Structure 1
Amino acid sequence: MLFPCLVVVGIFSMYLSVGLAGGILVSWDNSLASFTVLDSSPQFVIGELDVLKKGRWRIAIIYGSKDVYVRRLLWEKLETFSGTDLPMVIGGDFNCLLTKEDKRGGRRFSFSIGPREMKSFLTSNDLHEVGYVGPKYTWSNNKLGADRILERLDRCFLNSSAISLGHRMVVRHP
């Protein structure tokens, strides 16, 4: 069995997957920016991206656990890095639906403990969702007809410091 670990080499950082699950890869162009990992786990890589002549940003790349109780550790850790001292971007696969519009097919959406905790985290840390272009749903169970389930699990959020910089940001769903 492989154990997940963080690997940092020059222009990329990755948290290795275990089997078919998880894995996070962060890459950057050294001629434009440097990235310093502050903390990592199987659910996140948090670091500071220092962009040449543009300043420093705190970045959190997410692969949230499907288990709501394990995902709680993600909210707790992100909370410790979610100050307003730096512009911050938090994005990735949260494995959590926020609204019934984020799901088509399968069991009915319920505003249960998982979505409530994510919503509470976003509100208490003044995080705002970035708009997107492309398909609405970012995950599918790859089945056809009535068995098909579509969900929007991937999202990106900015803190107020990032928004106040006036950059126009959008996420592109392939």
Structure 2
Amino acid sequence: MVEVKFGDDLPEQIEFENENGVLTSQMIKYEWRPIKCDECGGVGHDGEACRMKKEEVQKERKKLKIKKVWVVKATVPHKVQTAKTSQEAQMGMQEGEVTCGVIDHLLNPLNIEIAAKVIEVNDMTKEKNVSDGQMENGNERAPQGLNSPWKHFHLRKFIQSQNVGLFGYLETRVKTGNFAKVYPRICPNWSIVTSYSAFPGGRIWLVWSPSCFTVDVRMLTEQMIYGVMNHKASGVQFCLSMVYGHNDKEKRSELWNDLIKCSRDVMNTQWVVMGDFNNILNLNERIGQPVLFSEIERFRNCVDSCGLGDAKMTGPFYTWSNKQQEDDYVTTKIDRVLVNGQWELCYPYTEAAFLLEGCYDHCPCIVKIHKELNKRAKPLDSSICGVILKGF
């Protein structure tokens, strides 16, 4: 084993003395190298996706916009009137047909209120929308999460490049009142169900192409959206639970209980559970902080009770890090894809491919169903794949 200081460049070769006392040089080949940022020195993203760099650029742009000009003082007194302006954020929602509990075009049989909220702004309004960016000490804060326009473009590009028909997005940071403004810029012709009715921040978005899928939602909570997915082209039907576990372990107990309820509803159907559980399952799934068995006990009991197991995964093992350096660095595996026995029987060559973080907060995951055990083989149908995306 060769130890390398965190932050140092990985060596291309090492020199050592062999058993005969001869100094030997050995080239090193890496199966995978972590991405290192040239701007901040952090790991898991490159310079283009560096948050620190973007914040500095935005500050510089604001400075450039400020321009002071000397003007001649008017000798004739005059009055300046400030005209009141109003801005309405409206989105025309076309009501789709709902049959047999199928959700289409933002209609929800669970009475989820995701209609557009009209916001009127004038010079007398003192309310501030945090999701659009707020004033801090006189400076406007950059938009957070999916409220940023450049992130709309990046997300659209990512979904198109992966050719998927269904995906889950966690921790969007888009408030209820801003949803009608943000969502049409990302997937204007796609259907969506959100968790706004269970939590004002809308922690989970489940989005799908109506030409590829119909979705029947069976349960919706703050930490999970569960339903039956029907793939139109192939007729494949399966149950899906898109999960975003709470930071508080006591509240996560509600998620474990809800998953057990789902397992009773699934019966003999294929079931996949995917997302950010905010909980590790095994003792070797965190580096930088000690792991206690009490942390994983409830999650393990839940997984065993539901008859779930990890799908075969590729890519980075640890899916999240705190972006700190050296002794403060913590990395862990809290994102995963779990499947039941029926899924394994029907789709034995399922692959949960975790990608590098890039500009996301966690490693994105793409679930693919292969025809046979061959890494070069194309997926059975790329639109059947599911994607987990977590924050920016």
Shift of 1:84: 2.6
CA change 1:35–1:152 in 2 (3 A) is same
Mean Cα deviation higher: 154-163 or 76-85: 76-85
Structure 1 unaligned spans of 5+: none
- Asked if 1:35 is matched to 2:191, the reply is no
- State the identity as a percent: 23
CA distance in 1, matches of 2:228, 2:244: 18
CA distance in 2, matches of 1:159, 1:61: 15
Find the counterpart in structure 2 of residue 78 from structure 1: 259
Query: Structure 2-normalised TM-score?
Result: 0.40
Q: Secondary structure at the match of 2:290?
A: coil
Find the counterpart in structure 1 of residue 143 from structure 2: none
TM-superposition CA deviations, 1:35-75 (whole Å, max 9, x none): 12211111000111011233321100000112221111111
Find the counterpart in structure 2 of residue 133 from structure 1: 314
Shift of 1:34: 0.8
AA partner of residue 23 (structure 1)? R
Find the counterpart in structure 1 of residue 275 from structure 2: 92
More relative contact order, 1 or 2 (CA 8 Å, 6+ apart): 1
Query: Structure 1-normalised TM-score?
Result: 0.86
Task: Give aligned pairs, total.
Answer: 166
CA change 1:129–1:7 in 2 (3 A) is farther
Decide whether the 8 Å contact of 1:23 with 1:63 is kept in 2: yes
- Asked if 1:44 is matched to 2:228, the reply is no
TM-superposition CA deviations, 1:98-143 (whole Å, max 9, x none): 22211111x311111x411111111122111112111111111111
Find the counterpart in structure 1 of residue 125 from structure 2: none
Rg larger for: 2
Structural mapping, 1:21-32, within 5 Å: 23-32=203-212
Shift of 1:161: 1.1
CA distance in 1, matches of 2:284, 2:259: 26
CA change 1:50–1:7 in 2 (3 A) is farther
| More strand, by proportion | 1
TM-superposition CA deviations, 1:82-106 (whole Å, max 9, x none): 133311000100010122211111x
| CA RMSD, Structure 1 to Structure 2 (Å) | 2.1
CA change 1:6–1:45 in 2 (3 A) is farther
